[in-house]
Amino acid sequence: MRRVLLSILLLVLALTGSLIAQELKLPNKNGSVKFAVLGDTGTGSSDQVAIGKQVAAFKGKVPFDFALLLGDNMYGGDSPRDYVKKFESPYKALLDAGVKFFAALGNHDNPNQRAYKAFNMNGERYYTFKPSLTAGVRFFALDSNYMDPKQLQWLDKELAASGSDWKIAFFHHPPYASGMHGSDEILKQQLEPLFVKYGVNVVFTGHEHFYERIKPQKGVQYFVEGSSAKLRKGDINRGTGLTALGYDSGNTFMLVEIAGDELHFQTIDARGQTIDSGVVKKGTDNRVVATSGQGAAPKPTQVTPPKPSQAAPAKPPAPAPSPR
């Protein structure tokens, strides 16, 4: 009898655990912009497949239409077989469900990927797109491997012309990060003035093989999501002072939902556990005024665990925002 009771108890615990594990933290509102974010994916490994499965499972809860790839979409070879092994197969369920992928190039990517239909780059190394005409959100995919003056001029022009409320940039190398590479200072010198001038709100990058939510910098919220297949355990340097929350113990991906002046995010690991979740709020001047977040990572691996009352301190908005 005891054994039966114990079995029932274990079963209930397992079921509850699994339900909690796949808990959705996003508001899932009608008409909002929803998407997934994956970085440093192209290994073809079991870790990539495991994350792919979780993304597909959450697609059942959040009906997102597209996903951002933050570069290193294809490590090593890029033969047709590699495309299958490192992209088409791990994300088959998503591709079959009509999810569109928008890729940025990483340092392991052959720029010829820009012609690959499923990456939706339209033959360009850097490009911009709007998920819908009415959404008020515009994305800017950059090639951070090769930030030549031509690309910077293009970005300046496109940002100046964008009337979107939310401007989201995504690329491979992080201007802010606390890993072995650290913040890419040269890239920061080039891009940050444009982000600040034109009110880019959120930036997604990869390259570092962990998840890190950076404290808002000059009115911009940066995320590092480079662990959707690769992982560098214990790599987050706690001393940089940049980290609002970091997770370097497991592979992760992000779900994002934009509704009005709020961008909700949820970071999930390969078991479906929520590692981080919160809201990025922007003010009337289009700058991020606050990011609140709550990590739920296992204690030993969590860096600077924030309490709700200790949400990432928002820097005051810089004066003289873009007059557009």
Partner 1 sequence: MAELSRAVLALFFTVGLFGCGFTANDQGKGPTVPKPVSPEQKAIASPDNPDSAILTDFNARLDNYVKKQRALLKDSPIPKDATPAQVKSRQETLAAELRTIRKSAKQGDIFTPAVASLFKRLMYPEVKEQPRETKQALEEEDGETAQVYLKVNAPWPASEPLTTVPANLLATLPQLPMDVEYRISNKRHLVMRDVDANIIVDYIYNAIR
- Interacting residues with partner 1 (CB under 8 A): 76-80, 82-84, 107-113, 115-117, 122-123, 125, 144-150, 152, 173, 180-182, 184-187, 189-190, 207, 209, 232
CB of 72 to partner 1, least distance (A): 8
CB of 186 to partner 1, least distance (A): 5
Closer Cβ to partner 1, 74 or 254, answer by number: 74
Q: Which two tokens stand for residue 74?
A: 């294809």
Q: How buried is 236 (Cβ within 10 angstroms: 0-12 exposed, 13-18 middle, 19+ buried)?
A: buried
Closer Cβ to partner 1, 27 or 76, answer by number: 76
CB of 309 to partner 1, least distance (A): 36
Q: 188 with 121: CB under 8 angstroms?
A: no
Question: Does residue 222 come out as left (phi exceeding 0), alpha (psi in the -120 to 50 range) or beta?
Answer: beta
Nearby residues of 231 by Cβ (< 8 Å), 6 or more positions away:
47, 209, 210, 248, 250, 251
Nearby residues of 186 by Cβ (< 8 Å), 6 or more positions away:
none
In angstroms, rounded to a whole number, what is the distance separating the alpha carbons of residues 277 and 300?
A: 18
Closer Cβ to partner 1, 235 or 269, answer by number: 235
CB of 179 to partner 1, least distance (A): 10
Where do we find the tokens 């009110």?
Answer: 199
Closer Cβ to partner 1, 16 or 146, answer by number: 146
Closer Cβ to partner 1, 39 or 306, answer by number: 39
Closer Cβ to partner 1, 28 or 145, answer by number: 145
Where do we find the tokens 């404290």?
Answer: 215
Q: 278 with 256: CB under 8 angstroms?
A: no
Q: 243 with 295: CB under 8 angstroms?
A: no
Is 160 strand, coil or helix? Answer: helix
Q: 61 with 22: CB under 8 angstroms?
A: yes
Closer Cβ to partner 1, 33 or 177, answer by number: 177
In angstroms, rounded to a whole number, what is the distance separating the alpha carbons of residues 77 and 317?
A: 45
CB of 129 to partner 1, least distance (A): 14
CB of 285 to partner 1, least distance (A): 28
CB of 190 to partner 1, least distance (A): 5
In angstroms, rounded to a whole number, what is the distance separating the alpha carbons of residues 183 and 181?
A: 7
